[in-house]
């Protein structure tokens, strides 16, 4: 690359005449006086320039000849995003982003509006629409499809629209190797904060789907842009919690958009609290009622996973407080907490053993013959490398991968807590001279033999859970997504452009492992 310095932000007329432009909008002073049409380059022209040696020489020749710049056709303005949102939110339209990797944004004939391009990239990366051929009796497989629906109904310059732009720019900056776009993302984020404060001050707007979606996306921003979940993430999570309490479950599940938004916001709250060893701010408020309200949207199995994670978040917070507070001095001090952990692990095991057939997955051994069915990059990166899983799990939808990932990762937390409790009890003296009849039948025995048995089972379950979580990773990156490349077809020219939600689904589980 041949760096040619910072590009001029002046209008094309002033640049062609090589005179200083005051960059006035909508028309600079020189163009106004001369009655010229005043055109400016958009952000894509300024950020993505062809800086090869050939382009540098061409620019220098043009300057020496003082020739006029090539006039481009005006691109769609950023204000037109609302009118095009309807077409962008369809599965067919999402495939238009597949040509992004083949674009040479420095070429004069391709100059898309940056805001629209970033938004389309975000939709491609993170929004999964329902399969049009889905069995209506099965749960929805969509993920974050409420974002384009709410975005297209939001006012231009609203809090939601601005925060969507911030997240879109942040994603575009990292996925498309455009670090300069991060400045636009942070600018939109700061503006979005101010607009959101005004929105939340209005009670009627605070209880809207648009407000809750904006707060939820702030948490997504933290996941995309920060290395750790610090105070900002917790603040966004707590903000979403407050908004969740403004409506009843029946009100949320009165329509599919609100229901999906409630689902992800509640899950974000529970998982965030589990990660930070804090008890959930909200109870599980009659979630089974949603099966009656929107039977095509949810299944009892998916709902029950959230209940299990909620219970583990409570247990994890209790164990964390126990370790930080007065340390237990006898095994009896931990007996009730140990029993709670054992019972909860039994519930996790029951869910996995009794799950409906539609939620199950195919299991194959990771053999050379099996690996030949995968694209070379997945064979080399995931299936043939050191530490590759012995089995490969195949799921039918990315949403199923997501639910299973939540289930297994939260069980890792539980089993780790259980093993820590048992190790702590081993360090305490074994109770002697106690009357077995005085111990409630529901409480576990505390002798070394009983604790060793519990420890062996917990360790075995943890190893199995880790192995199964690893075996699911290939499916996360190759499961078919409607309207997008499968990721395992070596004949697809666009399958190198991996959908961002695939990595987003896996990273929490990988981080915990």
Q: What is the pLDDT of residue 303?
A: 64
**60, two tokens:** 């220098």
Q: How far apart are CA 384 and CA 477, in angstroms?
A: 15
Determine the pLDDT at residue 185.
92
Top-ranked range on mean pLDDT: pick from 207-221, 242-256, 298-312: 207-221
Tokens 């090869």 belong to 52
Mean pLDDT of all residues in 291-300: 48
pLDDT of residue 455 exceeding 90, the answer is: yes
> Could you tell me which CATH class the domain 12-65 is placed in?
few secondary structures
User: Is the predicted pLDDT of residue 492 greater than 90, yes or no?
Assistant: no
Closest CA to 316 of 268, 267, 275, 265: 275
Give the Cα separation of 501 and 485 in Å (integer): 13
Please give the angle made by the CA atoms of 488, 493 and 497, to the nearest 5 degrees: 65
| Rounded percentage of the chain residues whose pLDDT exceeds 70 | 73
pLDDT (average), residues 363-387: 88
d(CA 176, CA 136): 37
Q: How many residues does the chain have?
A: 513
Is residue 119 scored above 80 in pLDDT? yes
pLDDT at position 150 is 95
**Half-sphere exposure at residue 361, Cβ-oriented, CA atoms within 13 angstroms:** 27
Q: Nearest 5 degrees, angle CA 404-CA 407-CA 413?
A: 140
pLDDT, tens digit, 9 for 90 and up, residues 95-118: 444 444 444 334 333 345 899 999
More confident position, 422 or 226:
422
Lookup result for tokens 């899983």: 389
Residues 6+ apart with CB under 8 A from 141: 128, 130, 131, 134, 397, 398, 399, 400
Answer positive or negative: Cα dihedral of 376, 379, 382, 384. negative
H-only helix segments in 325-440: 335-353, 368-371, 376-378, 398-426
Quote the tokens at residue 195.
Answer: 């607009």
Give the per-residue SS3 of 44-59: HHHHCCCCCHHHHHHH
pLDDT at residue 133 tops 80: no
Least confident of 63-72, 85-94, 469-478: 63-72
pLDDT at 175 > cutoff 80: yes
Asked if residue 506 has pLDDT above 70, the reply is yes
Residue 365, class by beta-carbon neighbours within 10 Å (0-12 exposed, 13-18 middle, 19+ buried)?
exposed
Distance CA 160, CA 151 (A): 7
Residue 78 pLDDT greater than 50, yes or no? no
pLDDT of 435 > 80? The answer is no
Predicted local confidence at residue 54, as pLDDT? 47
- Alpha helix positions (H), 108-202: 114-126, 146-153, 159-175, 181-201
Q: What is the 3 state secondary structure string of 119-138?
A: HHHHHHHHCECCCCCCCCCC
pLDDT, residue 447, reads 87
- Of the candidate ranges 190-199, 270-279, 316-325, 442-451, the one whose mean pLDDT is the lowest: 442-451
Average pLDDT of span 126-146: 81
Is the per-residue pLDDT at 20 higher than 60? Answer: yes
- Write down the domain spans for the chain: 12-65, 113-277, 310-432+441-479
**Higher-scoring residue by pLDDT: 442, 7:** 7
Rounded to an integer, the average pLDDT of 361-375 is 90
**Other Cβ atoms closer than 10 A to 456:** 11
pLDDT at 92 over 90: no
- What residue has token string 């009794």? 354
Under the banding of pLDDT at 50, 70 and 90, the label for residue 79 is very low
CB 203 within 8 A of CB 173: no
Mean pLDDT of 351-367: 86
Residue 177 Rama label (left phi>0; alpha psi -120 to 50; beta): left
Query: pLDDT value at position 146?
Result: 93
Residues 172 and 48: their CA atoms lie apart, in Å, by 13
pLDDT at residue 17 is higher than 90: no
Average pLDDT, the chain: 78
Question: In angstroms, what is the C-alpha Rg of the chain?
Answer: 28
Asked if pLDDT for residue 431 goes beyond 80, the answer is: no
Q: What is the mean pLDDT of residues 260-289?
A: 79
Q: Between helices 209-225 and 146-153, what is the axis angle to 10°?
A: 120
Other residues' Cβ atoms within 10 Å of the Cβ of residue 366: 16
Look at residue 493 and tell me whether its pLDDT is greater than 50: no
36-56 pLDDT, tens per residue?
Answer: 888 887 655 554 444 444 445
Residue among 251, 174, 185, 173 nearest 212 (CA): 251
Three-state SS across 230-244?
CHHHHHHHHHHHHHH
Of the chain, the end-to-end C-alpha distance in Å amounts to 40
So what's the pLDDT on residue 235? 63
Residues 87, 92, 95: CA angle, nearest 5 degrees: 105
Query: Is 232 a residue whose pLDDT tops 90?
Result: no
Bond into 26 cis (ω within 30)? yes
Joined tokens for residue 323: 């370790």
* pLDDT at residue 5, as a whole number: 53
Q: Please name which of 123, 218, 216 lies closest in space to residue 168, comparing C-alpha atoms.
A: 123
289 falls in which pLDDT band (50, 70, 90)?
Answer: low
Of 305-314, 343-352, 394-403, 484-493, the poorest mean pLDDT is in 484-493
pTM: 0.71
Please classify residue 273 by burial: count the beta carbons closer than 10 Å to its beta carbon, then call 0-12 exposed, 13-18 middle and 19+ buried.
buried
| Distance, CA of 355 to CA of 407 (rounded, Å) | 12
Residue 11 is classified by DSSP as -
């Amino acid at each position: 690359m041949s760096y040619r310095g910072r590009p001029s932000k002046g209008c094309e007329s002033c640049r062609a005449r090589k005179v200083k432009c005051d960059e006035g909008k909508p028309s600079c002073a020189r163009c106004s006086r001369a009655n010229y049409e005043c055109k400016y380059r958009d952000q894509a022209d300024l950020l993505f320039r062809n800086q090869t040696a050939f382009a540098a020489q061409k620019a220098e020749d043009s300057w020496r000849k003082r020739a006029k710049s090539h006039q481009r056709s005006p691109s769609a303005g950023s204000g037109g995003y609302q009118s095009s949102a309807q077409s962008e939110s369809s599965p067919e339209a999402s495939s238009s982003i597949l040509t992004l990797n083949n674009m040479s944004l420095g070429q004069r004939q391709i100059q898309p509006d940056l805001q629209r391009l970033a938004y389309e990239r975000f939709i491609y990366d993170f929004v999964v629409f329902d399969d049009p051929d889905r069995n209506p009796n099965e749960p929805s497989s969509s993920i974050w499809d409420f974002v384009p629906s709410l975005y297209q109904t939001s006012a231009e310059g609203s809090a939601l629209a601005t925060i969507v732009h911030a997240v879109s720019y942040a994603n575009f900056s990292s996925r498309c190797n455009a670090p300069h776009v991060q400045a636009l993302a942070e600018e939109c984020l700061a503006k979005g904060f101010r607009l959101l404060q005004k929105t939340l001050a209005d009670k009627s707007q605070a209880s809207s789907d648009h407000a809750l979606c904006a707060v939820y996306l702030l948490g997504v921003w933290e996941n995309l842009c920060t290395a750790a979940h610090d105070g900002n993430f917790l603040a966004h999570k707590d903000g979403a919690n407050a908004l969740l309490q403004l409506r009843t479950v029946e009100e949320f599940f009165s329509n599919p958009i609100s229901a999906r938004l409630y689902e992800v916001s509640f899950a974000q709250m529970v998982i965030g609290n589990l990660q930070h060893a804090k008890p959930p701010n909200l109870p599980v408020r009659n979630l089974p009622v949603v099966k009656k309200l929107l039977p095509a949207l949810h299944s009892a199995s998916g709902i029950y996973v959230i209940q299990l994670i909620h219970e583990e978040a409570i247990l994890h917070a209790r164990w964390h407080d126990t370790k930080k507070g007065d340390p237990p001095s006898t095994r009896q001090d931990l007996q009730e907490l140990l029993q709670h952990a054992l019972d909860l692990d039994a519930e996790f095991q029951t869910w996995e053993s009794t799950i409906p057939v539609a939620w199950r997955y195919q299991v194959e051994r990771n053999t050379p013959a099996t690996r030949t069915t995968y694209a070379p990059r997945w064979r080399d990166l995931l299936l043939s490398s050191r530490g590759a899983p012995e089995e490969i799990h195949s799921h039918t939808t990315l949403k199923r991968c997501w639910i299973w990932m939540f289930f297994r990762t939260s069980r890792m937390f539980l089993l780790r807590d259980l093993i820590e409790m048992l190790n702590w009890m081993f360090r305490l003296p074994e109770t002697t001279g106690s009357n077995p009849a005085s111990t409630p039948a529901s409480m576990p025995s505390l002798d070394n033999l009983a604790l060793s048995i519990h420890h062996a089972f917990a360790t075995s379950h943890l190893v199995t859970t880790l192995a199964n979580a690893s075996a699911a990773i290939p499916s996360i990156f190759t499961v078919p997504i409607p309207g997008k490349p499968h990721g395992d077809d070596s004949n697809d020219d666009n399958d190198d452009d991996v959908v961002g939600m695939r990595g987003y689904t896996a990273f929490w589980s990988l981080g915990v492992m």
